Structure 1
Amino acid sequence: MAALISPASGRQITLDAIYGPDAVSVDARPVSKWLGPDAYTVLEDSTVVPGGSDIVRYDIASGHRSVLVDAAAMIPAGASSAIAVSDYEWSLDARHLLLFTRSPAARSGNPVGDYWLLDLDRHALKRLGGDAEPLSLLHAEFSPDGRSIAYVRDNNLYVETITGGGIRQLTTDGNAFLLNGRADVAYEEEFGLGKAFKWSPDSRRIAYWQFDTTGVGTFFMIRNTGGVYSAVIPQQYPKPGTTLSAARVGSVPVAGGETTWFAVPGDPRQNYISRMSWAASSRELLIQHENRLQNRNEVLIGNAATGAVRSIFVDSDEAWVNVNDDPHWLSDGQAFTWLSERDGWRHLYVISRDGQRLELRTPGDFDVISVRNLDLASGYVYFIASPENVTRRYLYRATLTGPLKLERLTPASSPGFHAYDIAPGARWAIHTVSRFDRPPVIDVVSLPTHKSARALAGNEAMRAFVDVADKGDAEFFKVDIGDGVVLDAWMMKPPDFDPAKKYPLLVYVYSEPAGQTVQDSWGGDRYLWHLMMTQRGYLVASVDSRGANSPRGRDWRKSIYRQIGIQASADQAAALRAMIASRPYIDPGRIGVWGRSGGGAMTLNAMFRYPDLYSTGIAIASPADQRLYNAIYQERYMGLPDDNKEGYANGSPINFAQNLKGDLLVIHGTADDNVHYQNLEQLVDRLIAHGKQFSMMAYPDRTHGLREKPGTQLHLHTLMTNYLNDHLPPGGR
């Protein structure tokens, strides 16, 4: 048991200090872009133009600062203020800037807004799209040669030339149900596919997805706060076992002409095209083709001119397989990189273009968590892993060809959670490190030596805030739940903790396949709220059940296949019983549990399936019935509803609502387009039918994150704090 926080006498944290208008915050790294191997640019607030931003260049080694584009250059003709830049992109020759202004109505995977082109030579600024409605374009991107920009407008693909400003419409059949160059909501959420097109390397063609959503069930969200009458917001949303969008991919000449569709086999409504990318030339594409169960990923090579495809490789698993975000091509296009769990761990392989040779480049009993950079010149891949401690993250590198060489670059003297943004050429990286109770520190390091060149952000204000806060011990530990199963956990204790007394325990849960709660990393405002709760007299803990997205190997992660909500909730209950037995200061009569999204479902399962163990719960944005979530996620982990009826029924907390004994607060945003508000209403309906008393809170127009509109987070956490104070009395007894 390693104590991370030493007891100290200090300041009491308030909700206002965490969530109020003057709350302390971490220094977030500004929107930045690499400008070659030795410099990067960032957006900085202008000191001259109110509300405007400058684009500033920093030399990576020396830190020399120079303003490349000042905010005055971003004031449109006839306007009195600069555009509000949400993001930007440099052209390859750095002579043009693509500036993005995000619409307030944009979703996370659907960043609709305005795009502006700034010609740095002519000092000219224009809005793209011609006569397009304001805030109506999506996913604008420079061509590789820097001469054109592609974007999506009204669900069609367009190309606009930089010089002359001509606009060419490449597709004409887009409408509310037929999407060209952009994904449907399920692909957006589960495959991370927002922009659904790719420029060819020679800038002459664009490969793109087309989604036919006709036949997909329509979910209607309702907005009641916009006026006298309600507004209906329709969303084509495939739910488990229902009709999927039909997705296909094709390539279209930028100069104009018909789309050549790839002859991908199988029923497009029973398969997914989860990824595609150009295969090291402008002649062929690499296409990842998954079956509906997502346990077979067939890699196809497609001919851009004819649409013919050939299968070169299949990755499969008895449970599910993960897509590969961005295979990189090596050896002049004769091989590509691939992440696979085929040997029981997630490792990097190099696969020949014909799929006949697979070469493991990161051997060992550990997971490659993510690839951060491929430096083909030096022949190294840089990746994140943590072989000895799954709660931490470190940078490693391995050779891509020849003799295997694997080395850790993060110093052994620097434990914690490390992240890296590596420059082209892999000589420099922007490095971020944090600990459970230590806010992020950001600096520039040289690679491979990892020598710090200069500090970028120390988060001194947040560090000082945490340092003076009254706090007790916090520890990471293991929980043995029997049958050889050992789970990772952490616990925070009150500042005046007395082991002779008994304290209420608040358990923070998630335990779905998409996340890991037990990490030695800065937890942001959630950590601060937990710290505040310890000051009020609570123990706070979290446990990762089997199946959590922890780097503990394939078998660990996929042990929950077809039993989401069942095994994990049993693991949570077993871990809680083990902690109560080994830690006499836990009051078994005062056990609370809370979580959001999948953690909200876990909270409901805890309260309903183990009602004698948990006395109080707060479930936020919870999927109450697995049949109500999207098909891609739920079928990946549970199979099809008709083939796993028992699993869907037993994994859905709504079917155990009749068992509720304790105090339950359910919270949801009415505009949640991810876990729909219907989950709360159907759960409430079921609880009422069973005569169960509970509390609920609906946040109008808030989506899944419950962060829209002023005051929401402060209101939410005040509600949670007061509820626990009333129903889970704090303090040692």
Structure 2
Amino acid sequence: MNKEPVKNGVKLTNETIYGDWEYNAKKPGAVRWLDEGASYSALETASGYKDAKLEKDQYGDDIKVYEEIVQYDPATLERTVLLPLKQLIPQGSDKALAVDDYQWSEDKSKILIYTNAKYVWRKKDRGDYWIRDLNTNELWQLGGEQSAPAEMMFGKFSPDGLKFAYVWKNNIYVQDLKSRKVQALTNDASSTVINGLFDWAYEEEFSIRDGYRWSPDSQRIAYWQLDTHAAKDFLIINNTDTLYPVVTAIPYPKVGEENAAARIGVVGLETVKTQWMSLPGVAKDMYVPRMDWANNSEQLLIQQFNRKQDTNSLFYADANTGKAETFLTEKEDTFIELMIEPEWLENSDDFIWQSERDGWKHVYRVSRNGKTYTDLTPGEFDVTELVSVDEKNGWLYFIASPDNVSQRYLQRTRLDGSGKMEQVTPSQFSGSNSYKISADSSWAIHTHSSFLSPPVYSLISLPDHKAHHMLEDNAALMAKLDELSLGEVEFYSVKAQDGLRLDGYMLSPAGLDKSKKYPLIHYVYGEPAGQTVRDAWQGNRGMWHFMMSQRGFVISSIDNRGTAAPRGHDWRRSIYASNGDLETRDQSDAINATCARWKFIDCNRVGVWGHSGGGSLTLNLMFRYPELFKVGVSQAPVPDKHLYDSIYQERYSGLLEDNVENYVEFSAINHASKLEGKLLLVHGTGDDNVHYQGSERLINELVKHNKQFDLMSYPNRRHGIVEGKGTSLHLSTMRANYFMNNL
């Protein structure tokens, strides 16, 4: 890293990081580009409240309640207050609405206000909706009298801006914005049938929450219906909040068990009758992770995965008859990872698509009939994100970093497949860069960070990347970081025993004396869903690592095979149906190579920690390599792969009936008898994702073999272990003390 290490300065504490939240990075509030041109709107703290001391939420972010919606012209930076705070006060109230999110109508005459938002699973998907009409200045609440407070989900305008649709109690409703009449479009919801939204597994593993789509002509709605009766309920018990336990039942298909059955329907606003789409196969043994209108109001484009998830069949379905015909198929020997929506071009029948068919994640231009493929991003590198299609000027903007997999840069290439890729991000923005680009691709909100530098948000023009306005520079946080006593950060590579390159980073203590020996804390994740070795701001976890380096530890992390590093198809597929040997061996090889290179690391004092998949990997490393890993903190792990949800685990481990031995061998619980070091097991009893059940089974196994360990269970905390006042501070302090006392 270029930054000079600070050897004498401020010392971090758990209290400053997770108690007072002094090192939280700020970000602009809900900035979004309008659908045409280059104007953008934003949520900003209202005048008179800019210096108000706001309370923090469980993540340490400000709870903002004094906000207004403003609009900017990026060329002139002219600021217009579209919705001042005083216009967000409902009649008869003296308190303004707290804006959680907002939408524009197509003609920009109305603003949809989402407020009173409550968590469902991962996101605040349940709340209230209000409309502010900019022509009449009227503010009124949507949903009618039957909608209880904070019970509406996924509200959105119709494309013509005349109607509003939403989900309430698992049925889909539409409200006419002129007459204000509310009409139910579905009425068959029950405890097991849900319309317009998803069960836990679909939301978690397919990253999809909103389960319906307006037709472009605003006359029909296409939607998912899930029948969850075949999926068994998992029961989560709350023992602490009431005199008697409260039980929450969640349909949760585990490995090898029956799934929810999904089907696609189209309901007309006039007929209020649903036409079901005819897809092949038994619904509960198939998945429908993506669906939308096929660039018209007569056809749907539906993507259907088989249960093994090695085949994605794309169908055109007739919205009037339900007849579905396949026109494109993606096929793998292992698993398909990409779940994306095609992006239709306006001046042709082609669409933009992403695929790994040539061994890398590339962007393709595909004809409507699926017969013509043009690779727009050829080369031995992965596209990590498709950002914008500038059809007028013939450019495709995307994120890739061919020369450094820990970094991210904006690139562009011609939409017709001619010419060479150009890097748009200037070289001085070393690290990680992300972009929100305007509808005409002439402006962007640019976010830049690196391992030692918090995010900076700026308004830039494209393609010259000229900065015009600073939205948030986090200068105060940067000044605090400059005061810290920090050592050097180095990104490096070592070789696995078979010669494959493994990438990592190392943070050394300030004032490092290379003649001494330092203990090592190794941070792991290791699953296909993430990459730990990123030259990007690490947030509070990174601050905790800085703190531990100040206390005399070397900090490291390595990406093993199978992680989401942009290193190609073979890298990610190598762990399919693995018995765990490859992932754990990569981590062990990396630590041994690191110790051989840097003699100041004490390889008799190596600790490891991780959360979720990282918690599972921590267990596997402690059990399989007890001679190397002496202390471990495993947070919210999956000790037994049989216990996780079917969609995720079967995708990467294969179907249970085909891979029984691998499921047994890969599960850390079956190696628990080998534990020799100090282990701290941490789990929330209310974890709806990785159930506390797994840790309880592991406890029994450790007890059976008389293996001593430490345990911390957090009552009713979910997977992130953040709910409840003081939880994050308590966990970070306990983890720090465990390494201090035992390593």
Structure 2-normalised TM-score?
0.96
- Name the counterpart of 1:411: 426
Q: Distance in 2 between matches of 1:454 and 1:83?
A: 29
Quote how far apart the aligned CAs of 1:4 are. Answer: 5.0
1:561 and 2:576 matched: yes
Post-superposition Cα deviations, 1:596-642, rounded to whole Å, max 9, x if no partner, equal 11000010111111111111000111111111111110000011112
Question: Which of 221, 226, 247 is the matching residue for 1:211?
Answer: 226
**Contact 1:361 / 1:404 at 8 angstroms: preserved in 2?**
no
1:83 and 2:97 matched: yes
**Contact 2:121 / 2:200 at 8 angstroms: preserved in 1?**
no
Quote how far apart the aligned CAs of 1:403 are. Answer: 2.5
**Contact 1:328 / 1:336 at 8 angstroms: preserved in 2?**
yes
**Contact 1:287 / 1:302 at 8 angstroms: preserved in 2?**
yes
Partner-residue secondary structure (3-state), 1:93:
coil
1:238 and 2:237 matched: no
Quote how far apart the aligned CAs of 1:110 are. Answer: 6.3
Q: Distance in 2 between matches of 1:323 and 1:578?
A: 33
Quote how far apart the aligned CAs of 1:379 are. Answer: 2.1
1:17 and 2:29 matched: no
Summarize the Cα distance change of 1:296–1:662 in structure 2 as closer, same or farther, 3 Å threshold: same
Q: After the TM superposition, which of the residue ranges 103-112 and 38-47 deviates more from structure 2? A: 103-112
1:164 and 2:179 matched: yes
Quote how far apart the aligned CAs of 1:152 are. Answer: 0.5
Q: Distance in 2 between matches of 1:47 and 1:442?
A: 21
Post-superposition Cα deviations, 1:76-122, rounded to whole Å, max 9, x if no partner, equal 22222112211111111111111112444432256111111222222
Q: Distance in 1 between matches of 2:526 and 2:441?
A: 35
- Name the counterpart of 1:675: 690
**Contact 1:4 / 1:475 at 8 angstroms: preserved in 2?**
no
**Contact 1:607 / 1:660 at 8 angstroms: preserved in 2?**
yes
**Contact 1:24 / 1:461 at 8 angstroms: preserved in 2?**
no
Q: Distance in 1 between matches of 2:444 and 2:723?
A: 33
Partner-residue secondary structure (3-state), 1:713:
helix
Structure 1-normalised TM-score?
0.97
Quote how far apart the aligned CAs of 1:21 are. Answer: 2.8
Q: After the TM superposition, which of the residue ranges 702-711 and 487-496 deviates more from structure 2? A: 702-711
- Name the counterpart of 2:46: 46
Q: Distance in 1 between matches of 2:116 and 2:582?
A: 41
**Contact 1:275 / 1:323 at 8 angstroms: preserved in 2?**
no
State the AA in 1 paired with 2:319: A
Q: Distance in 2 between matches of 1:648 and 1:291?
A: 20
Summarize the Cα distance change of 1:415–1:197 in structure 2 as closer, same or farther, 3 Å threshold: same
- Name the counterpart of 1:58: 72
- Name the counterpart of 2:507: 492
Q: After the TM superposition, which of the residue ranges 282-291 and 6-15 deviates more from structure 2? A: 6-15
**Contact 2:488 / 2:509 at 8 angstroms: preserved in 1?**
yes
- Uncovered stretches (5+) of structure 2, i.e. residues with no partner: 53-64
State the AA in 2 paired with 1:171: T
Q: Distance in 2 between matches of 1:651 and 1:111?
A: 35
Quote how far apart the aligned CAs of 1:331 are. Answer: 5.8
- Name the counterpart of 2:55: none
Quote how far apart the aligned CAs of 1:145 are. Answer: 0.6
Quote how far apart the aligned CAs of 1:482 are. Answer: 2.6
- Name the counterpart of 2:125: 111
Question: Which of 290, 294, 300 is the matching residue for 2:315?
Answer: 300
Q: After the TM superposition, which of the residue ranges 254-263 and 382-391 deviates more from structure 2? A: 254-263
Quote how far apart the aligned CAs of 1:723 are. Answer: 1.1
- Name the counterpart of 2:713: 698
Summarize the Cα distance change of 1:466–1:402 in structure 2 as closer, same or farther, 3 Å threshold: closer
Q: Distance in 2 between matches of 1:393 and 1:270?
A: 37
Quote how far apart the aligned CAs of 1:29 are. Answer: 2.1
Q: After the TM superposition, which of the residue ranges 679-688 and 95-104 deviates more from structure 2? A: 95-104
Partner-residue secondary structure (3-state), 1:579:
helix
Query: Over aligned residue pairs, what C-alpha RMSD do you find?
Result: 1.5
Partner-residue secondary structure (3-state), 2:29:
coil
1:8 and 2:7 matched: yes
Quote how far apart the aligned CAs of 1:301 are. Answer: 0.6
Post-superposition Cα deviations, 1:433-474, rounded to whole Å, max 9, x if no partner, equal 111111111111111111111221111111111111001111
Summarize the Cα distance change of 1:342–1:102 in structure 2 as closer, same or farther, 3 Å threshold: farther
Q: Distance in 1 between matches of 2:708 and 2:551?
A: 27
Partner-residue secondary structure (3-state), 1:86:
strand
- Name the counterpart of 2:110: 96
Q: Distance in 1 between matches of 2:165 and 2:98?
A: 21
- Name the counterpart of 1:731: none
Q: After the TM superposition, which of the residue ranges 76-85 and 189-198 deviates more from structure 2? A: 76-85
Q: Distance in 2 between matches of 1:507 and 1:5?
A: 23
Quote how far apart the aligned CAs of 1:656 are. Answer: 0.8
- Name the counterpart of 2:280: 265
Q: Distance in 2 between matches of 1:22 and 1:667?
A: 22
Q: Distance in 2 between matches of 1:7 and 1:71?
A: 44
Q: After the TM superposition, which of the residue ranges 398-407 and 190-199 deviates more from structure 2? A: 398-407
1:314 and 2:329 matched: yes
- Name the counterpart of 1:121: 135
Q: Distance in 2 between matches of 1:602 and 1:699?
A: 21
Q: Distance in 2 between matches of 1:145 and 1:498?
A: 68
Q: Distance in 2 between matches of 1:472 and 1:21?
A: 24
**Contact 1:3 / 1:474 at 8 angstroms: preserved in 2?**
no
Q: Distance in 2 between matches of 1:584 and 1:338?
A: 48
Give the count of matched residue pairs: 727
Question: Which of 470, 473, 476 is the matching residue for 1:461?
Answer: 476
- Name the counterpart of 1:511: 526
**Contact 1:74 / 1:83 at 8 angstroms: preserved in 2?**
yes
Q: Distance in 2 between matches of 1:637 and 1:107?
A: 23
Partner-residue secondary structure (3-state), 1:482:
coil
- Uncovered stretches (5+) of structure 1, i.e. residues with no partner: 729-733
Q: Distance in 1 between matches of 2:420 and 2:319?
A: 37
Quote how far apart the aligned CAs of 1:46 are. Answer: 2.5
Q: How does 1:578-727 map to 2 (within 5 A)?
A: 578-727=593-742
**Contact 1:240 / 1:634 at 8 angstroms: preserved in 2?**
yes
Q: How does 1:95-494 map to 2 (within 5 A)?
A: 95-109=109-123, 111-130=125-144, 131-330=146-345, 332=347, 334-401=349-416, 403-494=418-509
